[in-house]
Each structure stands twice: as C-alpha cells, then as structure tokens.
Structure 1
Amino acid sequence: MTLQQSLAKLRENGIAVQESRCGVRTDRMYPAVCGAPTGDILLHLVGMDALDAALELGFDPAEQVQYQFAACRDNSA
C-alpha cells in the first residue's frame, strides 16, 4: 500500500489527517531477501478524537515502535 492509498483509506472513513510521512522501523532488523517484510511504515498524524476510528481500520499507534522518518519507496513496480 502506498502512502497515498493509506491516506485515502483514512479520509474515505471520515478521518481528518494532519500530516502523512513514510518511515522505517529502527527497533528490529529485517533480512534483505526477496519477499521478506521490510521495516517500512506509513505514518499519519490524526487527532485524538479520531484514534479509535483509525484503530478500527487496522492502523496502530506509532508510539508502540521505534522509527525514523524516511523517503517513501516507489511502489509502482
């Protein structure tokens, strides 16, 4: 899922998003093999009043993991 697709999912469900960025988890190591998960994450800043709705859509609070902001990957391939 791209950052734009993830943002659209929130907005389509009535959640106002203040900021969206890409990031990478820094609390784990990921093997560099084809098909393996990466540490890439999508970050959206929403108001506290929208947190429960975002959780119901499957989003998780970023405060539960260590991460740093990173450039978004090109997922067009």
Structure 2
Amino acid sequence: MNESSRSEPVGVVLAVDVDRFAEVIEDARRTGLTVTGEQPILGTLSGTIAEDRIPALKAVAGVESVDRDRTIDLPPPDSPIQ
C-alpha cells in the first residue's frame, strides 16, 4: 500500500459483546484499531482507525456496532438561547 492510498485515521466508538470484551479488543487491535478508551462494564471502547479499515473492524466477531466519533460544540451556559 503506498502513501497516497492510505486513509486518514478517524475516531470511532464500538459497542461490543461484554462477555468477550478482552478478546474483541485484541482482535480489533489486529485489525488496526488504536484503543484510546475501554469501558468494559458498558461494553464500549473508543479508538482511532484508518477509515478504509472500518469495514474490517465491523466484521470482528463480538463487535455489535461501530460509530464515528463526533464532536458537538455547545454555547457557553451564559449565552442567549438560540
């Protein structure tokens, strides 16, 4: 794969099978996920991965969903209602 064909990393949040949490994390890492947060009780984890690897990440056994991370900007509490 040459440099121009690589896609940029994107933030993702995964819902995973809580009974297979550790196994899913290892398989997701092998797929290319860089784990940035683990919430085993909730069955979620977050990380970054090349955008073109998202389909492979969705195919990992135990991954229930993959959502792109989003940032929402809220106005300061003292600003007028819009």
Q: Give your verdict on TM over 0.5.
A: no
What is the TM-score normalised by the length of structure 1? 0.41
What is the TM-score normalised by the length of structure 2? 0.39
Structure with the bigger percentage of strand = 2
